[in-house]
């Protein structure tokens, strides 16, 4: 991406902080059964980032449509809207240094208010909402901030144990500035008792890590008589500063 007009900011080009793989769920989490045959068993090959990991695609705001960040209306018939509890989800994409990540593409998807996905693989008996597609996207601003409007997704049963339920959640896909920052995660809702029963959530070993995926109700950000608001910050890997680092000319 060319430097924005009027900006003298130099692009950041350092390698990313080592990923703390103990903070993430391990590949094999047997209580989430699908992981059993899909989890690599050999140790990964570790190496410091090369240009292939330090670089990454950048998406411009020009690709966004007017309703991309409005799941209440982006699939609805004219004059209609999705059914459910109207909410705003907002927050910041930050890196591990605490610096906002500008220009990050966020894509999100979710079930409807009854807990049903618009997908041929989802056979849950809750009905589809003809006015709800379930996808949205946005690009963060200068400070890493973002916001979108949607309905609160419902919890739903899924085939794992005989009676496992997913807590209400929104899936997030995040691009940072380098491909090594690529991340997919899920946002949960403050106060949902199903969080602590969920085999997918419980694949994360540390309770403190799980808590970073729980969005907080923010009554000060609500729109009275319209929508409540949940705040959800996302943290991507930080970039090492090139303090006193031996660097090849032009590398």
Partner 1 sequence: MAQSLGRLRESPSQTAGPYVHIGLTPNFCGIVGVYPNDLGATMVNDKTKGERIGLRIRVLDGTGTPLKDALIEIWQADADGLYNSPAELRGAADPNFFGWGRCPTDMETGLCTFDTIKPGRVPFTDGRLMAPHITLWIVARGINLGLHTRLYFSDEEKANAEDPILARIEQRVRVPTLIAERQGDTYIFNVHLQGEKETVFFDS
Q: Of residues 138, 153, 178, 189, which one binds partner 1 by CB under 8 A? A: 178
| 169 SS3 class | strand
119 catalytically annotated: no
CB 83 within 8 A of CB 199: no
230 catalytically annotated: no
Per-residue interface string for the shown chain with partner 1, residues 139-168, x marking contact by CB under 8 A: ------------------------------
* Stretch of 78-86, 146-154, 199-207, 220-228 contacting partner 1, by CB under 8 A: 199-207
202 catalytically annotated: no
Task: Give the number of other CB atoms < 10 A from CB of residue 157.
Answer: 15
Q: Of residues 100, 141, 185, 202, which one binds partner 1 by CB under 8 A? A: 185
Distances from the Cα of 208 to the Cα of 2, 17, 23, 191, angstroms = 38, 20, 9, 15
Asked if 222 touches partner 1 (CB under 8 A), the answer is no
Closest-CA residue to 164 (of 110, 120, 124, 214): 124
Length of the chain as a residue count: 251
* Stretch of 16-24, 138-146, 189-197, 218-226 contacting partner 1, by CB under 8 A: 16-24
* Stretch of 96-104, 123-131, 146-154, 223-231 contacting partner 1, by CB under 8 A: 96-104
197 catalytically annotated: no
CA distance 29 to 67: 38
Angle at 87 between CA 219 and CA 70, to 5 degrees: 135
CA distance 147 to 191: 21
Residue tagged active-site, from 156, 177, 188, 237:
156
CA distance 251 to 235: 27
CA distance 241 to 97: 10
Asked if 58 touches partner 1 (CB under 8 A), the answer is yes
Cβ closest to partner 1, residue 80 vs residue 96: 96
Asked if 204 touches partner 1 (CB under 8 A), the answer is yes
Asked if 195 touches partner 1 (CB under 8 A), the answer is no
Asked if 61 touches partner 1 (CB under 8 A), the answer is no
Asked if 77 touches partner 1 (CB under 8 A), the answer is no
Asked if 12 touches partner 1 (CB under 8 A), the answer is yes
CB 96 within 8 A of CB 239: no
Active site residues: 117, 156, 166, 169, 171
């Amino acid at each position: 991406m060319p430097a924005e007009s009027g900006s003298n900011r130099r692009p950041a080009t350092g390698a990313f902080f080592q990923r703390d793989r103990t903070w993430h769920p391990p590949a094999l989490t047997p209580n989430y059964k699908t992981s059993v045959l899909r989890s690599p068993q050999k140790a990964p090959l570790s190496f410091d980032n090369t240009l292939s990991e330090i670089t990454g695609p950048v998406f411009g705001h020009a690709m966004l449509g007017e309703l991309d960040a409005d799941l209440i209306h982006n699939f609805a018939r004219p004059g209609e809207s999705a059914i459910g509890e109207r909410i705003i989800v907002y927050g910041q994409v930050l890196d591990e240094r605490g610096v906002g990540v500008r220009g990050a593409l966020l894509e999100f998807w979710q079930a409807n208010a009854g807990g049903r996905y618009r997908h041929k693989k989802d056979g849950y008996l809750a009905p589809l909402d003809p006015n709800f597609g379930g996808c949205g996207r946005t690009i963060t601003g200068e400070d890493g901030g973002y916001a979108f409007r949607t309905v609160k997704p419902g919890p739903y049963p899924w085939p794992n144990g005989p009676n496992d339920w997913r807590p209400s959640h929104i899936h997030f896909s995040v691009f940072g500035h380098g491909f090594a920052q690529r991340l997919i995660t899920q946002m949960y809702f403050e106060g949902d008792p199903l969080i602590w029963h969920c085999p997918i959530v419980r694949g994360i070993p540390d309770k403190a890590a799980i808590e970073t995926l729980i969005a907080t109700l923010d009554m000060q950000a609500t729109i009275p008589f319209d929508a409540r608001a949940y705040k959800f910050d996302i943290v991507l890997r930080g970039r090492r500063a090139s303090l006193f680092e031996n660097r090849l000319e032009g590398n």
